[in-house]
Amino acid sequence: MIKTKKRGDLIIISGPTCAGKATVIQKILENRPNVVCPISYTSRPMRKGEKDGVDYYFVTREEFEKKIENGDFLEYAKVRYGEYFGTPKKELEEILSSGKDVILEIDVQGAKQVKEKFPETILIFIMAPSMEELKRRIKARGAEKQIDQIIDRFQTAYREINEVYRYNYVVVNDQVENAVAKIEAILLSEKCRVDRIEELYVQNEEEFMHELMMDKDFDNTIRPIQ
């Protein structure tokens, strides 16, 4: 009776530092073969152990800026130290058109850019259970040694959390398994949305009743009332 749209969904995962976004996304990719995370472009140097075309597409700043001029990115950002990161538009469109879902880890500003271009984008915000837990995770990660760096991270996280109302869903990452289960439930429910229906085959009531009465497997014998 129902033919749904073949096109895949675009899902964006955002959240403050140390909310566990990367871990949750990796688990979803392992659990759901139909969900893909396209490879991003970056202008930063390749690190030890990384591979071009696997971890990122590594290009020079000049090459990246040329792609910006050509409109090749769905979204892009210039981060600390002047390096660029961007999501390729063409590859993403090819994946969605094939029927697969795309999941991206993008910051709040990038998510806003994408939502303006593609209003149907599903925005999911991941949070730590509490600000105290978030602070503990930031300190435990050890990437920031100085107290001013930790404070900067914490303040940035606070500003990002205040953007949660721009999102469709919020998931508290108290345990990875629970967070993954909630996001997978969201993805499943999105597939059942009425606006995904492309065509609906419904007979009128008279046709339905006629076919029902003529159905050989249907006992249409009139029985007297007892």
Q: What is the pLDDT of residue 178?
A: 96
How far is 43 from 82, CA to CA, in rounded Å? 9
How far is 183 from 169, CA to CA, in rounded Å? 9
State how far the alpha carbon of 207 is from the alpha carbons of 106, 110, 203, 218, 225, in Å. 51, 52, 6, 15, 27
How far is 53 from 179, CA to CA, in rounded Å? 29
Residue ranges of the chain whose pLDDT lies below 70: 1-4, 80, 141-146, 198-226
Instruction: List the structure tokens of 106.
Output: 């993008």
pLDDT, tens digit, 9 for 90 and up, residues 69-124: 999 999 998 876 788 999 999 999 999 999 999 999 998 888 988 998 889 999 99
> Considering the domain 1-34+100-226 in this protein, what is its CATH number?
3.40.50.300
Looking at the chain, which residues constitute the CATH 3.30.63.10 domain(s)? 39-98
**CA terminus-to-terminus distance, the chain:** 38
Q: Give the residue among 33, 43, 28 at the shortest CA–CA distance from 73.
A: 43
Q: What is the pLDDT of residue 159?
A: 83
Does domain 39-98 fall into CATH 3.30.1360.200? no
Looking at the chain, which residues constitute the CATH 3.40.50.300 domain(s)? 1-34+100-226
Q: What is the pLDDT of residue 223?
A: 55
Q: What is the pLDDT of residue 99?
A: 92
Q: What is the pLDDT of residue 162?
A: 87
Q: What is the pTM of this model?
A: 0.79
